[in-house]
Amino acid sequence: MYKVVLIDDESIITEGLQKVVDWSAYNCQVAALAQDAVSGMESIRKYRPDIVFTDIKMPGVDGLTMLAGLKGEFPQMQIAVLTGYRDFEYAQRAIHLGVSRFLLKPSKMEELNETLEYMTGVLGRSPLLGKSEPRPEAEDPNSFLVRQACDYISAHCAQRFSLQDVADHCYVSQWHLSKLLNKHLNQSFYDLLNTVRIQQAKQLMADPALRISEVAERVGYTDTAHFSRVFKRLEGISAGEWRNFHCGKG
């Protein structure tokens, strides 16, 4: 019996799907309904469904990142997107990230049945046989997630945040994101954060009006001594020496 999770901010959609689809005909059972991305991810981690039907145009949701997070953390899970937006380019990106079907609301019953037939067919095949449909220009969802994580860290490096905050932004578990950063960048979260902060610090030090302590604070270090230790460890020289050499500032 394949487990299914339905996610949509309109409860009428999830409740309607649960009632009108003959799930048992496809050896499926609805395990949970969710009304937003957060509760949806909680249900997915709790029930570990084989199939997910989800909207990606929900308030406060980065749909593509959410899809990449789902496929990155649960690569065998089959995902069907339900949306009221006719955006061809967006649909193409979603499909390249590994989505099985992109369905416009209101979906016709034959479309829902075809989608379930396809997804259960994929789930029923041996992994050695691969997918039945080729995906040209496919995008690795994990590479997509790493880029999203790096962008988030760069944009927020002056603030206090944790690996969990970045993982939440990418719709993956903290453990999975940590594994991805080590695999793709050969860095831990804190190594990456320090690297980004020091790179931004070097740009700021080109301004002679800024003291080293001000630069440290602007890139997220409340302790100038700690900033100095990190800078020297990464660059091999002190921040002051680096500024003298590169900017001619004593």
- The reported pTM is 0.78
Of 64-73, 128-137, 188-197, where does the model show the most confidence? Answer: 188-197
**pLDDT value at residue 250:** 42
Q: For the residues 73-87, what does the mean pLDDT come to?
A: 87
CA distance 112 to 103: 8
* 141-247 CATH fold: Arc Repressor Mutant, subunit A (1.10.10)
**Residue 36: is its pLDDT beyond 90?**
no
**Position of tokens 């001619």?**
248
**pLDDT value at residue 128:** 40
- Asked if 2-129 and 141-247 have one fold, the answer is no
Omega within 30 of 0 (cis) for the link into 59: no
- The SS3 assignment for 10 reads coil
**pLDDT value at residue 84:** 79
- Give the model's confidence band at 137: pLDDT under 50 very low, under 70 low, under 90 confident, else very high: low
Cβ-Cβ contacts under 8 Å for 128 (sequence gap 6 or more) = none
Q: For the residues 11-33, what does the mean pLDDT come to?
A: 94
**Residue 16: is its pLDDT beyond 60?**
yes
**Position of tokens 């994101």?**
177
Residue ranges of domains in the chain: 2-129, 141-247
Q: For the residues 214-243, what does the mean pLDDT come to?
A: 94
**pLDDT value at residue 208:** 87
**pLDDT value at residue 87:** 74
**Residue 140: is its pLDDT beyond 60?**
yes
Query: Which CATH class, in words, describes the domain spanning 2-129?
Result: alpha beta
Please report which residue ranges of the chain form alpha helices under DSSP H: 11-20, 37-47, 63-73, 88-96, 109-124, 141-156, 163-170, 174-185, 189-204, 212-218, 224-235, 239-247
**Residue 62: is its pLDDT beyond 90?**
no
Q: For the residues 20-35, what does the mean pLDDT come to?
A: 94
CA distance 4 to 79: 10
Q: pLDDT digit string (tens) for 179-204?
A: 999 999 999 999 999 999 999 999 99
Provide the mean pLDDT of the chain.
Answer: 89
Both tokens assigned to 8: 């949509």
Q: For the residues 223-250, what does the mean pLDDT come to?
A: 88
* More reliable by pLDDT, 93 or 18: 18
